[in-house]
């Protein structure tokens, strides 16, 4: 019987079908091979405690550091052609990471603690498990200043630029309204302006849902300032704040309230 070799089958067991040697290659073990899609219990507990006002946002960020997150991929339509019946027909579709526009107009990367919360957000999304540090590094490298965990759910939680950077770099993070470093930086800026008697920093987004600025700066002014004097105070304050590296690096956004 005559044998026939299939020219499409690679006869060299030491090389792949493209002729590239197998030697020197390694395959990483998938750390999420046994992942059942459930939320990290420590992260879920921190989220519940935060939304019941039993824990700070810092506790959620700390719980997030060691958690597995799910990044959603959605099909993006590629090339299309006109079919036999005159309708546009997709020729290709690629899976891509999703970003959306947040309420403040900035780009947001949605991520999820569990397959259930992702499915509730979009049943067509395909989950890709990864650790939170990689998520934050990717967001920072792409200039995405907002990561929202479990958007649309009961425990939705937004991570802003300074917290993204802290998780990515393994650095501690405190909400700026609770941070001594931020308070000291504001004190340095305010003490140079005689018309400001005192100030306080308040949380402008109580439940971390991008419902407002990160911080509200409340200024206690001397009584009787006119419009031009007030404008001068705010201009000098803005100039002083712009000189602070702490405020630039550790504060995402703020608004000012005036009291006299």
Domains, the chain: 41-77+92-169 (3.40.1350.90), 176-259 (3.30.70.1350)
pLDDT at 49: 98
Is 199 within 8 Å of 247 (Cβ atoms)? no
Over residues 38-42, mean pLDDT: 96
- Nearest C-alpha neighbor of 72 from the set 40, 41, 95: 95
Does 236 score more than 70 pLDDT? yes
Which residue has 């630029």 as its token pair? Answer: 161
> 160 forms bridges with which residues in the sheet?
146
Does 19 score more than 90 pLDDT? no
Which residues are CB-contacts of 233 (< 8 A; sequence separation ≥ 6)?
193, 195, 196, 221, 225
Angle at CA 30, nearest 5°, toward 26 and 33? Answer: 145
The most confident of 10-24, 95-109, 169-183, by mean pLDDT: 169-183
What angle do helix axes 227-242 and 180-190 make, rounded to 10 degrees? 130
> 69 forms bridges with which residues in the sheet?
130
Confidence of residue 165 (pLDDT cuts 50, 70, 90): very high
pLDDT at 3: 45
Which residues are CB-contacts of 244 (< 8 A; sequence separation ≥ 6)?
185, 188, 189
Is 98 within 8 Å of 74 (Cβ atoms)? yes
Averaged pLDDT score across all residues of the chain: 87
Which residues are CB-contacts of 187 (< 8 A; sequence separation ≥ 6)?
199
Over residues 27-45, mean pLDDT: 80
**Eight-class DSSP state of 258:** E
Over residues 144-168, mean pLDDT: 97
pLDDT at 4: 47
pLDDT at 97: 82
pLDDT at 27: 54
pLDDT at 198: 97
pLDDT-wise least confident of 1-5, 112-116, 138-142, 198-202: 1-5
Over residues 191-220, mean pLDDT: 97
Over residues 164-174, mean pLDDT: 97
pLDDT tens-digit readout, 82-141: 555 454 445 545 667 888 999 989 999 999 999 999 999 999 999 999 999 999 999 999
- The rounded radius of gyration (Å) of the Cα atoms in the chain is 26
Tell how strand 254-259 and strand 215-221 pair up: parallel
Rounded distance, CA 100 to CA 56, Å? 26
Q: How many CA atoms lie within 13 A of 186 on its CB side?
A: 24
pLDDT at 238: 97
Confidence of residue 195 (pLDDT cuts 50, 70, 90): very high
């Amino acid at each position: 019987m005559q044998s026939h070799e299939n020219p499409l089958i690679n006869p060299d067991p030491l090389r792949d079908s493209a002729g590239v040697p197998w030697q020197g290659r390694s395959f990483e073990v998938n750390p999420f091979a046994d992942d059942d899609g459930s939320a990290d219990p420590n992260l879920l507990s921190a989220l519940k405690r935060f939304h019941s006002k039993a824990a700070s946002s810092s506790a959620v960020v700390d719980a997030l550091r060691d958690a597995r997150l799910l990044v959603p991929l959605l099909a993006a339509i590629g090339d299309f052609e006109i079919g036999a019946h005159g309708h546009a027909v997709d020729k290709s579709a690629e899976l891509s990471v999703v970003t959306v526009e947040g309420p403040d107009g900035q780009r947001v990367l949605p991520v999820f603690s569990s397959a259930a919360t992702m499915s509730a957000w979009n049943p067509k999304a395909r989950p890709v498990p990864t650790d939170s540090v990689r998520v934050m590094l990717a967001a920072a490298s792409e200039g995405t200043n907002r990561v929202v965990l479990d958007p649309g759910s009961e425990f939705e939680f937004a991570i802003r630029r300074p917290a993204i950077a802290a998780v990515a770099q393994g650095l501690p993070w405190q909400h700026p309204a609770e941070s001594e470093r931020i308070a000291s930086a504001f004190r340095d800026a305010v003490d140079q302006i005689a018309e400001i008697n005192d100030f306080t920093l308040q949380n402008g987004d109580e439940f971390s849902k991008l419902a407002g600025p990160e911080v509200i700066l409340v200024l206690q002014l001397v009584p009787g300032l006119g419009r031009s004097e007030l404008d001068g105070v705010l201009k000098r304050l803005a100039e002083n704040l712009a000189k602070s590296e702490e405020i630039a690096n550790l504060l995402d956004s703020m608004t000012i309230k005036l009291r006299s």
